[in-house]
Amino acid sequence: MSAADPTGNDSRVRGLTVAGVAMIGVAFGFARYGSGLFLPSLRAGFGLSIAQTGLISSAAYAGYLLALVVVGAAVARTGPRPLIIAAGVSATAGLALVAAAPGVPLLVAGLVLGGASPGLAWAPYSDVVQTAVPEHSREHVLGVLPSGTAWGVLAAGPLALVTAGSGWRIAWWAFAASALLVTVWNAWVLPSSGGRQARPPERVGVSMFLQARAVPLYLTALSYGITGSVYWLFAVQAVTEATSAGGSAPALLWTLIGLSGITGALTGRVVKRRGQRATHTLLLSALTAAIALLAVAPGNHAAIALSGSLYGTTFMAISGLLAIWSYQVFPHHPATGFSATVFFLGMGTMAGPAVLGMVAETHGLPATLWATAVIAALTLPLRPGPQSLTAHSGRDGLRSCESAS
C-alpha cells in the first residue's frame, strides 16, 4: 500500500477501512450485543429466567476473553488475516446457531461462539492498520474502526422492530447472512501476509503491571466492564417490561445507542481539548446518569431516549479513554499494558451479568440498574493522573490507541 498518498484516501485504504468497520459491526453489534436487544424474545422462546440469561451472557463474555488469549498467542506467527477470517466464521456460525436453535444448549453454544468473534477481530485488525496503512493515515483509520459497533447496533434496532415477537429468528438469520458477506469481503481485501512480526515480543516483568498508578486504570476498566455488560443485556428487558412489551420503545433505545455511539470516534479530540481527568469525570457522570434514568423511569419515552443517547456516546468514548490512559501508564510497553487493561475489563463483563442477574431475579430490574449506576458513580474518583496526552508520543502510543472499540 503506497505511502505517497498525502491524504490517506487511497482506494485500498478506504476499502480496508470500510471492511474493518463492517467486521467490527457484525462482531460487536450483532454477535456480541444482539442478545440484549432480543432478550425478551429469547426469554419467551426458551423459557429463561433473568438469572439464567445473566449466566449465559457471562459465558459468552468468557468466550470473548478466551479469544483474546488465542489472538495474543497466535497473531505474531499467523499474521492478522487468518484470525480476522476466523472471527467472521465464528460470528456467522454463532449467529446461525442462535437462529436455528431448538433448545437452550444450542442457543448457549451460538452465543458463546458468536461472542468469541470480537476477541478474534479486535487486535488483529489493529495490526492490519499498523502495517498496511500509511503512517500519516493511521490515526484517522483507527478513529473510524470502532464506529463499526455503533453502526451494527444502529442497524439492529429497526430490524428488531420489524421482526418483533416470534419473528426474532428472521433477524438472526439476517445477522448471520450479513456476517457471512462481511467475512468474504474481508478475505478479499485483507493483505495476505501483513502484520506478521519478525521477532517475538519483548518480555516484561510482573512489576510493570503492579505499579500504583495502574490501579485506578484497572478498577475503571473493571467497573466499565460490569456496568456496560449489564446495560447491554438488561436495558431492553427493563424498557419492555415497563412499556407492556408491545411498543417501539426497545427498538428506539437501541437505535439511539447506535446513532449516538458514532460520536465515540471523537474521543481523542475531546481528551486533547479537555484533558484526561476532566474527560473521565464527564464520561463516568454521563454513564451513571444513563443507567439511573432507566432505573427511575424505564417506561418514559423521554428518559429512554436520553438514556440511550448518553449511553451510546459514553460507552464508545470510554473505550478510547482507556486506551489513551493505558498508554500513559505503560508508555514503553503500550500493547502489553493495554492487554492487561482489557483483561480487567473482560473480568467485569463476565462478572456483571452473572452477579447482577441474580440480583434482578430477587429484587427486580430497577434495583439492579440502581446498583449498576452506583458502581459507575463509585468509579468517578478513580481519575487518571495529570499527565499530558502528548507526554509520550510516537508509534507505540498509536499502537495503544488502536484497540479502543
pLDDT of residue 405: 38
168 in Cβ contact with 41 (< 8 Å):
yes
CA separation for the pair 405, 150 (Å, rounded): 10
Give the mean model confidence (pLDDT) for residues 53-70: 85
pLDDT of residue 389: 43
- Look at residue 198 and tell me if it is in a domain: no
pLDDT of residue 391: 42
358 in Cβ contact with 51 (< 8 Å):
yes
Task: Please say if the pLDDT value at position 395 is more than 50.
Answer: no
- Look at residue 199 and tell me if it is in a domain: no
Of 146, 165, 191, the residue at which a domain comes to its end is 191
Average the pLDDT over each of 42-56, 124-138, 229-243 and give the range with the smallest value: 124-138
> Is residue 90 domain-shared with residue 182, that is, in the same domain?
yes
- Look at residue 201 and tell me if it is in a domain: no
Of 158, 191, 224, the residue at which a domain comes to its end is 191
- Look at residue 6 and tell me if it is in a domain: no
DSSP state of 271: H
Q: What is the pLDDT of residues 148-191, one digit of tens each?
A: 888 888 888 888 777 777 788 999 999 999 999 999 999 999 88
Please tell me the total count of domains within the chain.
2
> Is residue 227 domain-shared with residue 263, that is, in the same domain?
yes
Give the mean model confidence (pLDDT) for residues 102-107: 94
Phi, psi of 397 (to 5 degrees): -65, -40
> Is residue 343 domain-shared with residue 396, that is, in the same domain?
yes
288 in Cβ contact with 338 (< 8 Å):
no
Q: Read off the pLDDT band of 231 (50, 70, 90).
A: very high
pLDDT of residue 121: 86
Q: What is the CA radius of gyration of the chain?
A: 20
Task: Please say if the pLDDT value at position 401 is more than 50.
Answer: no
All three cell numbers of 41: 424474545
pLDDT of residue 400: 37
> Is residue 398 domain-shared with residue 251, that is, in the same domain?
yes
Its domain, for residue 117, covers 11-191
CA separation for the pair 293, 308 (Å, rounded): 9
- Coil, helix or strand at residue 90: helix
pLDDT of residue 335: 59
> Is residue 278 domain-shared with residue 330, that is, in the same domain?
yes
- The better pLDDT of the pair 134, 126 is held by 134
Give the mean model confidence (pLDDT) for residues 378-393: 67
Give the mean model confidence (pLDDT) for residues 58-67: 85
Q: Read off the pLDDT band of 205 (50, 70, 90).
A: low
CA separation for the pair 398, 389 (Å, rounded): 12
> Is residue 331 domain-shared with residue 272, that is, in the same domain?
yes
CA separation for the pair 347, 65 (Å, rounded): 8
Cβ atoms within 10 Å, residue 174:
18
Q: Read off the pLDDT band of 8 (50, 70, 90).
A: very low
pLDDT of residue 72: 72
pLDDT of residue 143: 65
Q: Read off the pLDDT band of 38 (50, 70, 90).
A: confident
Opening angle at CA 288, ends 64 and 209, nearest 5: 50
CA separation for the pair 165, 403 (Å, rounded): 36
pLDDT of residue 195: 47
> Is residue 384 domain-shared with residue 251, that is, in the same domain?
yes
Give the mean model confidence (pLDDT) for residues 62-89: 85
Of 191, 214, 234, the residue at which a domain comes to its end is 191
Opening angle at CA 331, ends 326 and 336, nearest 5: 65
pLDDT of residue 199: 45
CATH of residue 348: 1.20.1250.20
> Is residue 138 domain-shared with residue 164, that is, in the same domain?
yes
Task: Please say if the pLDDT value at position 196 is more than 60.
Answer: no
Average the pLDDT over each of 161-165, 212-216, 258-262, 312-316 and give the range with the smallest value: 161-165
Task: Please say if the pLDDT value at position 6 is more than 50.
Answer: no
Instruction: Tell the residue number behind the cell numbers 485506578, with chain if given.
Output: 216
CA separation for the pair 12, 10 (Å, rounded): 5
Average the pLDDT over each of 64-73, 83-92, 286-295, 331-340 and give the range with the smallest value: 331-340
pLDDT of residue 144: 74
Give the mean model confidence (pLDDT) for residues 51-70: 86
Q: What is the pLDDT of residues 324-370, one digit of tens each?
A: 788 778 877 665 677 788 889 888 988 889 899 899 889 999 999 99
DSSP state of 200: P
- The better pLDDT of the pair 52, 131 is held by 52
> Is residue 232 domain-shared with residue 370, that is, in the same domain?
yes
> Is residue 213 domain-shared with residue 362, that is, in the same domain?
yes
- The better pLDDT of the pair 19, 14 is held by 19
365 in Cβ contact with 237 (< 8 Å):
yes
> Is residue 142 domain-shared with residue 289, that is, in the same domain?
no
Task: Please say if the pLDDT value at position 7 is more than 60.
Answer: no
Give the mean model confidence (pLDDT) for residues 23-28: 92
22 in Cβ contact with 185 (< 8 Å):
yes
- Look at residue 196 and tell me if it is in a domain: no
- Look at residue 274 and tell me if it is in a domain: yes
> Is residue 334 domain-shared with residue 388, that is, in the same domain?
yes
- Look at residue 160 and tell me if it is in a domain: yes
346 in Cβ contact with 339 (< 8 Å):
no
All three cell numbers of 81: 488475516
- Look at residue 1 and tell me if it is in a domain: no
CA separation for the pair 382, 377 (Å, rounded): 10
DSSP state of 380: T
126 in Cβ contact with 68 (< 8 Å):
no
DSSP state of 202: P
222 in Cβ contact with 117 (< 8 Å):
no
CA separation for the pair 235, 281 (Å, rounded): 23
pLDDT of residue 399: 40
* Buried b or exposed e, range 20-57, using 16+ CB within 10 angstroms: bbbbbbbbbbbbbbbbbbbbbbbbeebebebbbbbbbb
